[in-house]
Copies of this chain bind each other. A is one copy, B any other.
Amino acid sequence: MTHHADTILTNAILLTMDANLTIYEPGAVAIRGDHILAAGFEADILQKYSAEQSVDCQGKVLMPGLINAHTHAAMTLLRGLADDLRLDVWLMGYMMPVERQFVSPDFVRLGTRLACAEMIRSGVTCFADMYYFEDDVADATAEAGLRAVCAQTVLKFPGPDARDYEEALDKTRIYIKKWLGHPLIMPAVGPHSPYTCTQEILQSAASIAREYDVPLLIHLAETRQEVENSRKEHGMPVIPYVKKQDVFKGKVLAAHCVHVDAGEIKTLLHHKVGVAHNPSSNLKLASGFAPVSNMLDAGLKVGIGTDGPASNNDLDMFEEIRLATFISKSTSGDPTSLPAPMALTMATRMGAEALQLGKITGSIEAGKRADLILVDNSRVHNSPRFRREPEAIYSQLVYATHTADVTDVMVNGKWLMRNHQLLTLNEEELISAASIYAQRIDAFLLEREHSVLSKLVAIGGASEEESYEVQVKVALSDPDCVEEGIKKHGIEVLHHRHYHEFDTYFSFTDTSQGYLRYREDEALGPNDQVSNVRYRLTLLGPTRENDFLSDALLSRSRFIAPASHSLRFYREYFKPAHETIIEKHRMRWRILYHAMEFFINLDRLEKPALGYFLEVKSRTWSRKDAEHKALVARELIRSLGISKEASLSQDYIEIVNTPGSK
């Protein structure tokens, strides 16, 4: 008596990619609904099962679909936008500004669909994604029929889908609840990286992941600089720092892990952290060579990812598998390192395990979901085929197979591609819609070629400071009360300095460009001797919050950079319409007040001679925190004994440039 199946695939070179790397030739697979009933030799399967639909695989390779362990699918729409650039210029000069302007639910749906079309063609049946508007990513993916872990990004900067991280975290909870239990989509939380998140974000994201038992996706130890900065800022490298925030207490998939030592690998193993290795991205961005062999030897589950198409620039998993072996061999100096069967395991069964989906996909075994592909290994670039050793078939797939050799793809028991024809997506429509986005982005960037920020970025990068700077300022007739006040009231002084500051402000015909400030900062010692001079460029964006406390200044998008060139150079380079010089003495205190950090500046403006001003300032990544700090700053000013003076919500340059100001 035979059992009933919906579909039987016959006449295949069946690579199960199970723990023993069992191969059946000729092999067959019986499928019912979304899952695999049985896999084995064709004769055995045909004896035990009968089905309405029988598919002749024509001697092709039948294997589990590939697992793309790390990508940002929607970034297909930014593919090839800017290449051969340093990471900071690429990210801050191109990706982030364009994302701020263009990324929307429509953008991510289209970008994700385009990515799904490309991934299906490349034999991918499951991928791990991190981006904005992840609800739309998940929706577009489910419609295309692919399996995915979709992580909503959280970071300390304002993102295209969240004004600040509190909003991002709130949205993440709603998003996860909506998708939990979906047959194709596993929702997840994606704190972008330790260096783009605060400790609070990392801890909150980890707590969300544990609360809903969903994966947490994060970029870890991608560049040497990241690790060095972590040592400087936190006194320890990236992995221990992240562990300290309890991130590893949940199910974690960590992308990159390029710069991790043996001890850190042990930590990752102890916490069962899955790793996504991204060969093309690491090579193209010159991030370094991940110690893949060491991680595998230690027992870590390491999958292979394409990373986002803006940094790769395609989603070709066959290329990534090949590169994974090449990197391992070339950096170890050992050509036997990471042999073909292991590389293909990383891209299938082990990749699924790294994504915490090992129980349902990654190999062709009874009970797992029917996620599988057919690969034609008989074309000219793959001929002839040697059969002496079982490794030879893996060697064909890893070293010579092209993405165009994938002919058929099934996910969850449903065909997504048959004989090179996509069944769930219309490529022509996607390509022309993408082309319209590209035209708009090109136009935006051409326009921006006149932008001060882009020019600032172009000459060596600039880093964005905390999102919000809160400032409460008053003009003073009696400056002495400040020093007295600081001494008397419950204020803890952390640091005190006297500066002589020479500021040159460039302004531009297009006032929306804001001001670019060149500051020469002389730190003065006890006898007013210059102990140190610092040169900095700061771009003061014109953006202002309208709905903020009326007497406080809340500024955003400040970019600062060390000024390594001369004032003359910047004058010639930026060609300002006007220049304004402001010279002042500044007594500066960094203090704690109600356990919050503030700067108190007592400024004497010498040129123009405008007298004394008191500023209380603080910076934060959180808008809520900014509002709170503005209130405390007002209170701090009152507590210094200053009460009748009116607050000024202006920068000095605005005070100076406003006709009729004092």
A interface with B by C-beta (< 8 Å): 76-77, 79-81, 83-87, 90, 114, 117-118, 121-122, 280, 282-289, 309, 312-316, 319, 322-323, 325-327, 329-330, 332-337, 339-340, 378-388, 391-392, 395-396, 399-400, 402-404, 427, 430-431, 434-435, 437-439, 441-442, 445-446
Closest to A330 in B: B283
| A312 & B399 in contact (Cβ 8 Å cutoff) | yes
Known: A80-B386, A83-B399, A84-B340. 4 other contacts (CB 8 A): A83-B340, A84-B325, A284-B399, A383-B435
Contact B327 A283 (CB under 8 A): yes
A87→B289 contact, CB < 8 A = no
- A380–B124 Cα gap in the complex (Å)? 15
Taking the closest CB of chain B, its distance from the CB of A388, in whole angstroms, is 4
A-B contact pairs, 27 of them (CB 8 A): A77-B384, A79-B384, A80-B385, A80-B386, A81-B392, A83-B399, A84-B336, A84-B395, A85-B336, A86-B336, A90-B335, A117-B380, A121-B381, A284-B399, A285-B335, A286-B329, A286-B332, A287-B330, A314-B399, A316-B381, A316-B402, A323-B323, A379-B427, A380-B431, A386-B438, A387-B439, A402-B404
Closest chain B CB from A80 CB (angstroms)? 5
On whether A388 and B446 interact (CB within 8 A), knowing A316-B402, A326-B284, A430-B380, the answer reads yes
Residues in B whose Cβ lies below 8 Å from that of A403: 381, 402, 404
Task: Let me know if A80 and B438 touch, CB within 8 A.
Answer: no
User: Within 8 Å CB of A330, what residues of B?
Assistant: 282-284, 286-289
In Å, the complex CA distance between A383 and B79 comes to 7
Given A286-B329, A404-B402, CB of A83 within 8 Å of CB of B380: no
* Residues A284 and B325 in contact in the complex (CB < 8 Å), given A80-B400, A445-B388: yes
Please name the 10 residue pairs, one residue from A and one from B, whose CB atoms are nearest each other, closest first: A384-B438, A283-B326, A84-B339, A404-B404, A384-B434, A313-B399, A314-B400, A388-B442, A83-B395, A283-B330
| Closest CB in chain B relative to A502 CB, distance in Å | 34
Q: Tell me the minimal C-beta distance from A510 to chain B in angstroms.
A: 20
Cα–Cα distance between A402 and B316 once the two chains are bound (Å): 9
Residues of B close to A86: CB separation below 8 A:
334-336
Residue numbers in B under 8 Å from A446 (CB-CB): 388
> Which residues of B are found within 8 Å of A400, using beta-carbon distances?
79-80, 309, 312-314
- Quick check: A391 and B280 within 8 Å, CB to CB? no
Residues from chain B with a CB closer than 8 A to the CB of A384 are: 77, 79, 431, 434-435, 437-438
User: Which of A81, A118, A381 has the most chain B CB within a 10 Å cutoff?
Assistant: A381
Question: CA A126 – CA B329 in complex, angstroms?
Answer: 30
Residues of B within 8 A of A395 (CB): 80, 83-84, 313
Determine if B85 and A335 form an interchain contact, defined as CB atoms under 8 angstroms apart: yes
Among candidates B312, B335, B427, B441, residue contacting A386 with C-beta atoms closer than 8 Å: B441
Chain B nearest CB: distance from A73 CB in Å? 13
Which residues on the B side are within 8 Å of A387 (C-beta)?
438-439, 442
Please determine whether A399 and B118 come into contact, CB atoms closer than 8 angstroms. no
Q: How far is the CA of A228 from the CA of B430 in the complex (A)?
A: 56
CA distance A85 to B329 in the complex (A): 11
Q: Is the CB of B314 within 8 A of A81?
A: no
- Which chain B residues border A326 with CB–CB below 8 Å? 280, 283-284, 323
Contacts of A332 in B (CB 8 A): 286
